[in-house]
């Protein structure tokens, strides 16, 4: 039985999972960051890759703490889709519980920006922001 399981695991598909957070401030601006390792689309939502034995909501909490010294509470999943053949992206609506502190070496900077004036960002990130705006509108959440 153990041999059959090893064979099954060998041929089972492997995926990576990325998690991003959509965070708004009290002025209705969304948080975007400039990533060191994303030369094609340097600006985008903050986030990172899921680590072993970690839930997606734990991932975004950890990533925002590590990259921006920002404490957040996760809200609903806004969007989830395969953005590459073997890569799943998940976007959460997040509620900031602290101010941004020091930023990590993975980032060049950050900005709070009006959603209608976003720079060129990945399509998944743009759609996640649109989903967050729709969610907030449907639920009567004023930013």
Query: What pLDDT was estimated at residue 68?
Result: 98
Query: Which H or E element spans position 2?
Result: helix 2-11
Secondary structure class of 37 (helix, strand, coil): coil
Q: What pLDDT, in 10s, does the model give residues 1-39?
A: 577 766 766 666 688 999 999 999 989 999 999 999 888
Q: Is the pLDDT of residue 95 over 70?
A: yes
Could you tell me the pLDDT band of residue 80, with boundaries at 50, 70 and 90?
very high
Q: Which whole number is the average pLDDT over 34-57?
A: 92
pTM of the full structure: 0.88
């Amino acid at each position: 039985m153990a041999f059959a399981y090893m064979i099954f695991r060998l041929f089972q598909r492997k995926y990576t999972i990325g998690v991003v957070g959509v965070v708004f401030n009290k002025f209705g601006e969304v948080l975007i960051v400039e990533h060191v390792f994303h030369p094609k689309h340097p600006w985008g939502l903050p986030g990172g890759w899921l680590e072993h034995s970690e839930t997606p909501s734990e991932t975004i909490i950890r990533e925002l703490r590590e990259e921006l010294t920002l404490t957040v509470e996760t809200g609903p999943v806004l969007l989830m889709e395969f953005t590459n053949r073997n890569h799943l992206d998940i976007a959460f609506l997040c509620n900031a519980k602290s101010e941004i502190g020091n930023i990590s070496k993975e980032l060049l900077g950050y900005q709070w920006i009006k959603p209608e004036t976003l720079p060129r960002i990945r399509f998944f990130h743009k759609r996640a922001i649109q989903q967050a705006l729709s969610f907030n509108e449907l639920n009567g959440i004023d930013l």
